[in-house]
Structure 1
């Protein structure tokens, strides 16, 4: 996938050198009538990191992502992505991001190739390059053998890979993943996370994700923010947050329970995946 995503060269940047901030919010807030879904969220994300937004159902995680991807206007506060303001430069923001929502975005009545062709047209990829780019990205995702198979016959993990492929055809600087492994079996979850990690470590893509699987967030995320009832409760690296508990062998689950008093709970096909994601989306 050399054309779509150029491999990051970090050899000239010492580990101690601060990375550029690619995403920043200041007091980001969203009201729905009298209900405050997100209240005064201020975060920053460094270029090339995997950043996790954690919280129980209804914490406001999906609302944050929808504001950052310009699908939902903020009621107050501001945010910039790659230097673009989400309110005043929304079209520029959309050109530099990829977004994989909770809701099923692949069309089961089309093949994997046909789904990607639609997105290639939306991204205005020149027609003479589309076929090659699509084949490259399907191979990168491990879906080359399923290129011309109807998506309704894909497994849940294959569908998720296809949706990620859809979101990175245009080589985004930031990829948003809203509960990327919801409804997937353990093997499929592992495969999806391996791809996400490869996008970040090998190609320099910044990842902003929400997840219910805390041990995965612990292993994958450079930094996390924990939300509850629309507010930021705590943030930091998983290592620092676990150390703050002064508890031997503390886990990110322990951190989550400590700060929220709650606990997150963690082989499917197209229909099962669609149903599971609809439920997750409804719960927030």
Structure 2
């Protein structure tokens, strides 16, 4: 596997791939790789001639400086994992390489960024859109792979691809979970063994909400989820939302049997670690 840290060198390599008629698959990450990332990489390997992975902890998408500082950085271990799954090229730039000067661009995604993650993390999706745009221009992939755990981020990037006419296909894969049900996340590395047990209740609360969808109105389901998590020591729920799976706008009334898909979405702090999770359910 080739490791490249400079944008100019990567662009030259990408140009060679494209001139040779090779199809490029791209998996953008912030490192601290886990099985969820590896699932995306294996899919890219199967569907493309060349697989490129980027590892870059993007400072512009963190609205909490401490969160950025504490984000796991495990480049040596990540490199070994990438080689094991047969990744062809790793792009691992530093911040100065990606942002040679301060970006003055501002992205707006309307109602899509006014809810859930966008509401609770001001500026987050502007940072995501900026870095993903840069990476798409640099890597020029034919396919880009993302995980469902970051459901709202995928929706934002889908709008970005459509709005800026990026010539690529977005591929989204289901969330990979640990045996306990905890969604795999780079942030899990910051959890203690006890906190991992506590965090598993996030998925259990989503399953509870799923069971209640056909029996109870939205406000009752929300109260039940809040009550369930309130009894779990160490968990501080930030939000739980039942949203339209396509628009991610809050749903106030459920229509069982309608065939409509809803997204059960949440964010919570387990100790000092902020985790998100979601579950898609067809009514």
Query: One fold, TM greater than 0.5?
Result: no
Question: Which structure carries more relative contact order (alpha carbon 8 Å, separation 6+)?
Answer: 1
For normalisation by structure 1, the TM-score amounts to 0.31
Higher helix share: 2
Scaled by the length of structure 2, the TM-score of the pair is: 0.31
